[in-house]
Amino acid sequence: MITIKRILFPTDFSKCANQALCHATHLAQTFGSELIMLHTIVIYEDDPHNPDHRFPDMVECYESMEAIAYTRMDGCLDEETSDKVKMTKVNVRGISPAREIIEYARKNDVDLITMGTHGKTAVRHFLLGSVAEKVVRSAPCPVLTVGPEHGAETRSMVYKRILVPIDFSEPCKNALRYGISLSRLYGAHLDLLHVVEGWIHPAFYTTWDKSILDFMPDIKTRATEAMDELVKEFDVDGLSIEMHVAEGKPHAHIVNFAEEKEIDLTVISTHGLGAIDHLLLGSTADKVVRKAPCPVLTVKHPEHEFVTD
């Protein structure tokens, strides 16, 4: 059963945020949810080494920016949509947008965060990071990320085809539960994809390139059988489900599969790596969020969940 009482929509009034708003309002109307529009006001002080800061009065500056933000919030929804959605508008002050979004969600029992992501390139991402990815890693609830090209005009708000990447971990089972529930709600086709990281490393173990399929030629059959057993743990009567096995880099295959099959929504688990682990190892979920051609719902377990058995 899906129960979404509160949807948090963080906005910086960018094109990415506006695209995410299409999905947030659709979900709010579908589930009768309260939609909370949140804008974080971040003011960085002038040069701290200058004893004569000459910085404007902080209270006056905050109040002025809040007034502007509320005005812009009023213009985000057209009159027809505003009448159909219960909307709450909130401005918060802080030094980190991601931290304020996460704390607000935690303190206010939010069921789902829906937000835009700018899809930074590898270099910009390494230098600047991403508010969306920080929220995905630490949010106390599922997060739906929407890229700049994922608005209503490029993808139907009714999800017709849903992808769930499978790695057989416990968090992955939770993502599958979400995928099944959403597929049932929308009457969507459900694709399950397991990606085998196919090359043997390090290279000095062999004198030529070796694929794991050379050593385990039946691995695709075994992976498909394992997915079939996993699906049997859930009620899938009446659902259209297809299982796929690929070889290579997981995030690349997930993104390519979503593009080729015109996936409307990817549901993926995230293991919630800490800052150091993430810096060293990265995250498949992070890369999918950044590059996917469709909205991505990230879930981890345990967390505040909106899908219950």
Give tens-digit pLDDT for 55-97: 555 566 666 667 767 677 766 766 656 677 888 999 888 888 9
**Chosen domain end from 124, 157, 190:** 157
The closest of 219, 271, 275, 269 to 245, measured between CA atoms, is 219
Q: Is the same domain home to 123 and 187? A: no
CA-closest candidate to residue 7, choices 101, 93, 148: 101
- By C-alpha distance, which of 149, 22, 146, 17 is closest to 72? 17
pLDDT digits (tens, 9 = 90+) for 92-112: 888 889 999 999 999 999 999
Q: Which domain holds residue 99?
A: 1-157
Looking at every residue in the chain, the average pLDDT score rounds to: 80
Residues 22 and 147 occupy one common structural domain: yes
pLDDT at 63: 65
Which residue ranges of the chain lie beneath pLDDT 50? 45-48, 50-53, 121-129, 152-155, 204, 207, 273-282
Edge-first strand order for the sheet with 143-146 is 86-94, 34-42, 6-10, 112-116, 143-146, 296-299, 265-269, 161-165, 189-196, 241-247
What is residue 134's predicted lDDT score, i.e. its pLDDT?
87
Compute the distance between CA of residue 36 and CA of residue 46 in angstroms, rounded to an integer: 32
pTM of the model: 0.81
Q: In terms of Cα–Cα distance, which of 143, 193, 201, 139 is closest to 164?
A: 193
Q: Give the HSE-up count for residue 229: Cα atoms under 13 Å, Cβ half-sphere.
A: 7
pLDDT of residue 124: 43
Judge if 38 and 141 occupy the same domain: yes
pLDDT at residue 156 in the model: 54
Write down the pLDDT at residue 198.
62
Provide the number of structural domains found in the chain.
2
Query: Do 216 and 282 lie in a common domain?
Result: yes
The answer on 270 and 164 residing in a single domain is yes
Residues 61 and 127 in one domain: yes
The residue out of 136, 157, 178 marking a domain boundary is 157
Looking up residue 80, the CATH number of its domain turns out to be: 3.40.50.620
Q: Are residues 120 and 243 in the same domain?
A: no
**Same domain for 131 and 173?**
no
